[in-house]
Amino acid sequence: MKSPVIIGSSEGAVKYMGGFKTIANLVKAMHDDLGITVPIAIHLDHGTYEGAMKALEAGYTSVMFDGSHFPIEENIAKTKEVIEAAKQKGASVEVEVGTLAGEEDGVMGSGEVADPEEVKIMADLGADMIAAGINNIHGPYPEG
């Protein structure tokens, strides 16, 4: 279809696939060796601070830093650092404000509506994308 592609991974998947560098190098090698002509983004979904930094260092072109479980001040501080590191690498950053209900890699969220002021703060930090909690569910649906 000649459309750009996003190859996404979670930190759980990264453990089973040999690490961030293995995934990034595999995707880049396939792109070059197979003569793929469409852009390919290598994305970390719902990453921790440490995971986002490792993914950027390994060559991921996009990371989602999910600091929604931190108090907002800590989420902002860590988000600033991830954005600065990503911009140095030419990568994009998605951040989360408010939590999504459900489970991602063993982390459970209760779900909530994000505070619009907090969303604006994250946007002003230079986040490329914002995942804002709107009472939505991510991952497996809870029973009942």
Angle between helices 20-33 and 49-58 (to 10 degrees): 30
The token pair at 49 is 């601070």
Cα–Cα distances (Å) from 13 to 8, 17, 26, 91, 109, in that order, read: 10, 6, 14, 20, 19
The token pair at 71 is 């108090």
Partner residues linked to 94 by β-bridges: 64, 129
Contact 122, 95 (CB under 8 A): yes
Catalytically annotated residues: 45
Strand, coil or helix: 90: coil
